[in-house]
Chains A and B, each alone.
Chain A
Amino acid sequence: DADVTQTPRNRITKTGKRIMLECSQTKGHDRMYWYRQDPGLGLRLIYYSFDVKDINKGEISDGYSVSRQAQAKFSLSLESAIPNQTALYFCATSPGQGLSDTQYFGPGTRLTVL
């Protein structure tokens, strides 16, 4: 079984709709992250969380919100989706053991906003 899972894997929605992307992990890691990947732009950090009570904005948080429901669950919401939020979204975790944390990625959610 995968250690980091994301649901849904693919989603097509319309402008203005509210969308939630979910991430679950069985690795027991405290740190969780949401990234978006766009062709030619690499990965950009949206939000990150060091534990259930610690949530931080990344470099592109506008238009997004998150919820850390438990150590194992970290959800990303688009309150009112717009076409330029069409992208591949990745959840990642890290153990927080040190300063050179390796990140473990989920398989991604491909979101299309029409």
Chain B
Amino acid sequence: AQSVTQLGSHVSVSEGALVLLRCNYSSSVPPYLFWYVQYPNQGLQLLLKYTSAATLVKGINGFEAEFKKSETSFHLTKPSAHMSDAAEYFCAVSPSGGYQKVTFGTGTKLQVIP
């Protein structure tokens, strides 16, 4: 069984401030982990993914995430928020070792305040 918990359904940050979106996972086997972003009225698009290579993963638009096995976490960060970062962000997990469906978290809406 696998699951993802995103702490905080809404997060507000000031423009230029650090963005930190939290994701904790549960998986009985080594996981693959993903962050997707959904802009208003659009489908989801991949920000970054972890597939057991480097634990620090860099994605698009200046985002990065660090896989921490001891903490079962995969938090998403960006040093300086832009207005264009306002969107909903989804963490997702998939077990490695054979096709398994991807399980999505419930999402975190990021608001960027000017």
CB of B94 within 8 Å of the partner chain: yes
B-facing residues in A69-114 (Cβ within 8 Å)? 90, 92, 99-100, 102-108
Check A99 against B32 for contact (C-beta < 8 Å): yes
Q: How large is the interface on B (under 10, 10 to 19, 20 to 34, 35 or more residues)?
A: 20 to 34
Which residues in B have their C-beta under 8 angstroms from that of A40? 9, 106
CB of A12 within 8 Å of the partner chain: no
| B94 touches which of A42, A44, A100 (Cβ 8 Å) | A100
By secondary structure, the B interface counts as: loop
CB of A43 within 8 Å of the partner chain: yes
- Among A42, A92, A102, which residue has the most Cβ atoms of chain B within 10 A? A42
Which residues in B have their C-beta under 8 angstroms from that of A108? 41-43
Give Cα A106–Cα B94 distance, bound, in whole angstroms: 21
- With A99-B32, A99-B94 known, 10 other A-B pairs at CB within 8 A are A4-B43, A42-B105, A42-B107, A92-B43, A99-B51, A100-B32, A102-B34, A103-B44, A103-B46, A107-B42
Interface residues of A (CB under 8 A from B): 4, 40-45, 48, 58-59, 90, 92, 99-100, 102-108
